[in-house]
Amino acid sequence: MNRKKLTLAIIVLWLTGSVWAATSITSDGNETSKLLVHVEQGRDRIAPEIYGHFAEHLGRCVYEGFWVGEDSDIPNVRGIRKDVVEALKKIQVPVLRWPGGCFADEYHWKEGIGPRSKRGRMINTHWGRVIDDNSFGTHEFLDLCEMLDCEAYIAGNVGSGTVEEMQDWVEYMTSDSDGDMARLRRQNGREKPWRLRYFGVGNENWGCGGNMTAEYYADLYRRFQTYVRNYSGNRIVKVACGPGGTDLRWTEVVMEKAARYMNAVTLHYYVRGSGNWTDKGSATEFDEKEWFALMKNTLGADETIAKNIEIMDRFDRRKRIDLFVDEWGTWWDAEPGTDPGFLYQQNTLRDAVSAGIFLNVFNKYCHRVKMANIAQTNNVLQAMILTRGKEMIVTPTYHVFEMFKVHQGATLLPSELVCHGYGARNQQIPELVASASRDAGGTVHISICNLNPNSDSQLECLLEGLSPQRVSGRVLTAEKMTAHNTFKNPDVVMPTRLNGSTVDGDLITVTIPAKSVVVLAIK
């Protein structure tokens, strides 16, 4: 099919509402999916922070995942395990959120500074009621961020904390003055202040962060944020607590009452299969019905983000406020034989495809979505990394982040996709989900997810404004939809070279394997 016919076919289907939801494409007699990328129309930058991460004091995310202590026989630097840091640097972690999560609104930072032998011991009431000895605190977290060369995103305590406590914390971390908090920091071994970019005023205050009404939280936010001040040239992005899932009223109330006092507002969006929140289903034992349910639920993030942005636009016409999806991911029942309060789950190819959908959606809305933080980095929920003592493996989702890192800081390219539907007649979702960007060197990258676990998808791609010279690609897939990496077999799911891509004039033709994530590089 030539450029004119392909462009016309996509425009017609776009105008008739068939883009992203076509069950079959029969223009000019073939059945290929079609993607039109407008290379010269790119305007919005994909913030690297969209590929951010989240580390809560939950299960083995921080303790054993990051922190093993200086005396551990696990190789470490100042108590932080080397293998995890090295693995995360390979995916270019741009920002790390800490200490929660629900834990944030019961965390009192002064118990986690100074000599570790003198630090307070607290009960982690949200996650297993284990004792947290505060050996990993402010200094250790900000040391970790410097090792990763990433921005720090701290969630402050509104639920059980005080205004004074929050004010002191910000001053302790960022002031270069001769005040008491800066002196205390120096006494604890850090002469110069840290650069702190992001500070969240509370977390899930509609739930575990205090069970507040939107009106009450909005008033509290206005009060607390007043004392999140900028010291010594540091400029903080103040982040308000937004809704969980589809609670649009929360967004509306908080935006109406507090928009002028915030730089960003959050959204949390977790997904599962066909189960409920009490019985979420197994991470590794599922059938195609449950696969389909997860893909459908993940696609729901698109509509939810769009609706939140509509509300934000009403109260912030200058588009000054960013949307941070600072908790997202799949959530399954804890692995058998593990503490349910630790939220340890395996991570399959199904999770990887879901992650690819999420990231493509975040790219799509990068004009407003400026950060996203998958939950969580190590050993919890949809983790990048699993550890077992000295052993460490990476998950299929880790590989998605490694493949998609090419989008960080690139320019989003508008695109239209026409593809087949997947599912039963009365419940269909698009077979493919994609996004495209152009990096500073001019290379175009297209990330594509094939949601259909049964069929490859033939894709014709036209780059309007670029004559491609060569195309290469990588693919993440496996024989079984339940495939996952284990300590015994750590490389069951890992990226490989994608073969069979062709360039014919202006047209690229590629086969997207069933149940896969693909990233193309086009020059």
Closest CA to 170 of 193, 151, 192: 193
CA–CA separation, 357 and 516 (whole Å): 11
Q: How many CB atoms lie within 10 A of CB 504?
A: 10
In degrees and rounded to multiples of 5, residue 446 shows phi and psi of -120, 125
Q: What distance in Å separates the CA atoms of residue 486 and residue 392, rounded to the nearest whole number? A: 10
Residue 173 amino acid letter = M
Contact present, 169 and 227 (Cβ < 8 Å): no
Rounded to whole angstroms, the Cα distance separating 280 from 334 reads 9
**Residue 352 parent element (H or E):** helix 349-364
Catalytic site residue from 56, 106, 327, 460: 327
Tokens of 21: 């939801």
Residues forming a β-bridge with 391: 388
Closest to 294 in 3D by CA, of 358, 346, 365, 361: 358
Q: Which residues, including other chains, have CB under 8 Å from residue 455's CB and lie 6 or more apart?
A: 431, 514
Tell me the C-alpha distance between 521 and 342, whole Å: 39
Distance separating alpha carbons of residues 344 and 331, to the nearest angstrom: 10
Task: Compute the Cα dihedral for 311, 315, 318, 323 and give only its sign.
Answer: negative
Under 8 Å CB-to-CB from 57, ≥6 apart: which residues?
63, 99, 100, 101, 103, 107, 124, 127, 132, 136
Look at the block and give the residue holding tokens 């600072």.
326
204 is catalytic: yes
E strand map for 298-426:
322-330, 369-375, 385-388, 391-394, 411-413, 415-418, 421-424
Catalytic, out of 56, 151, 171, 204? 204
Alpha helix (H) residue ranges in 32-107: 82-90
Spatial strand order of the sheet with 471-476 comes to 411-413, 432-438, 444-450, 516-522, 471-476, 496-497
Distance CA 76, CA 84 (A): 10
Q: CA triplet 353, 357, 359: central angle to 5 degrees?
A: 115
Contact of 344 with 60, CB cutoff 8 Å: yes
Q: What is the DSSP letter of 333?
A: P
Structure tokens at 415: 């695109």
Q: How far apart are CA 194 and CA 79, in angstroms?
A: 19
- Using alpha carbons, list the distances in angstroms from residue 407 to 144, 329, 464: 24, 19, 19
User: What are the residue numbers of the active site?
Assistant: 204, 327
